[in-house]
Amino acid sequence: MVFKRRAKRSYARILAEAFYPRGGWTRAFHYVRHRLHRLPDKPYRIARGVAAGVFVSFTPFFGLHFIFAALVAKLIRGNILASLLATFFGNPLTFPIIGFVSLKLGHLILGTRFDVAAHASLLSSFTSAGGELKDNFFAIFTDETAHWESLIGFFDSVFLPYLVGGIVPGIMTGVAFYYLSEPVIAAYQKRRRKKLKERFEKLKAKLHARAGEGSEGG
């Protein structure tokens, strides 16, 4: 195939680029911002999509953020593609902060104890829970016994507090991004339309000039 990778990326390379993409996070941020600015939709709809994507980044539905961002964007009549791009807000650099704040607030709301040491390896908690869920699913079709004790403990101490605690900061951050992005996108689209109009006028003037030269020569 013409566009196939010459050298297949190793799993170590894929994992490394998940934490630090090629070109760096700055370049990735500018790419997302550029794509958001150029989306062919009304500024308020794009801004709503951004708010949806940022909000979903505060939920513990890892691996499903795209799906939930699209659903929330559809619910609030925002731009779905903008919501998918905005999930970039949740990345390996921001997730430790999001996770800590969400868990701390969630335990406070639920009246349970927040153990910093127990939640230090949040990624491994979700990874092991996902592995157990997968094993229990396959146990339905085999002779293996399903074990739910660890998953129940994970739900009570990690997932539920994360979900409850992420709602308030998620809404606040999403609303803040809506009000920050909407005027910026509107100004960019207005400037872009002006540039396109100027180019069109220049092209039209050239065509008129050429047409005038042709009639004089005839």
Domain boundaries, the chain: 11-183
Q: Of the spans 6-10, 66-70, 122-126, which averages the highest pLDDT?
A: 66-70
Gyration radius from the chain CA atoms:
25
Please tell me which residue, 134 or 73, carries the higher pLDDT value: 73
**Residue 21 pLDDT class (50, 70, 90 cuts):** low
Q: What whole-number distance in Å separates Cα of residue 85 and Cα of residue 80? A: 9
Q: How confident is the model at residue 199 (pLDDT cuts 50, 70, 90)?
A: confident
Of residues 186 and 24, the one with the higher pLDDT is 186
Q: Where are the alpha helices (DSSP H) in the chain?
A: 11-19, 24-37, 43-56, 65-75, 80-86, 95-110, 122-139, 149-154, 160-217
Rounded percentage of the chain residues whose pLDDT exceeds 70: 62
Token representation of residue 159: 């997932």
Phi, psi of 2 (to 5 degrees): -70, -40
Q: Supply the pLDDT for residue 19.
A: 43
What pLDDT is stored for residue 15 in this prediction? Answer: 40
Q: What is the pLDDT of residue 14?
A: 42
More confident residue, 160 or 26: 160
